[in-house]
Amino acid sequence: LVAAALAVALAGAAHAGDLGGSGGSASLKPPRARRGLEPDAALKLGQAHGLAARRVESNPSCRALFTELGASGEDKLAEAIYMQAPPEVVERRCRGGAAAAINPGTALTWVCPAFSSLKVQRAALTLIHEALHSAGMPERPQTPGARSSAEINDLVRDRCGL
């Protein structure tokens, strides 16, 4: 069911021109989702992942967010593994309306319940935000002196045009 939802979302995004690029581009690689991802979340993930990959690939200031961390944004998005957040993660990490959560430096991204209700552009921003954590960007309050979640979102919005 998840694979079918992703296929539908990717086909729709490609038809709408959201994926951009040509054969072999990072934006054409589907997101890696594990079983258990709710169908609405899988659909949103497929749509948002294509948009996020296209922005990182085509926008130099967006791509630079990753190169400044010594990483490739295209690779971080392609390596990400998306799973539905289990109850214990929802309780600890998805509170306050968080749409996704990751442990910095890892590829596993927990998809929170709020993700499904985001508009595609905001969901793409969320995927880039989490990919930046995968590349090593810290976040306050876990890391004093780092940017807050809202500041990271503002940075992605400004530099990636989201």
Chain segment 59-115, per-residue pLDDT in tens:
999 999 999 999 999 999 999 999 999 999 999 999 888 999 997 778 999 999 999
What are the angstrom distances between the C-alpha of 17 and each of 53, 122, 124? 13, 17, 15
Picking from 47, 18, 14, the residue whose alpha carbon sits closest to that of residue 33 is: 47
Picking from 64, 53, 66, the residue whose alpha carbon sits closest to that of residue 10 is: 53
- Provide the pLDDT for residue 28: 53
d(CA 38, CA 16): 23
d(CA 94, CA 96): 7
Asked whether the bond before 60 is cis by omega within 30 degrees of 0, the reply is no
d(CA 64, CA 116): 28
User: pTM to 2 decimals?
Assistant: 0.83
Residues comprising the chain, all counted: 162
- Provide the pLDDT for residue 21: 36
Average confidence score pLDDT of the chain = 85
Count of H helices and E strands in the chain?
Answer: 7, 4
Q: Tell me the CB-side half-sphere exposure of residue 119, using CA atoms within 13 A.
A: 3
Strand partners, 102: 109
- Provide the pLDDT for residue 104: 72
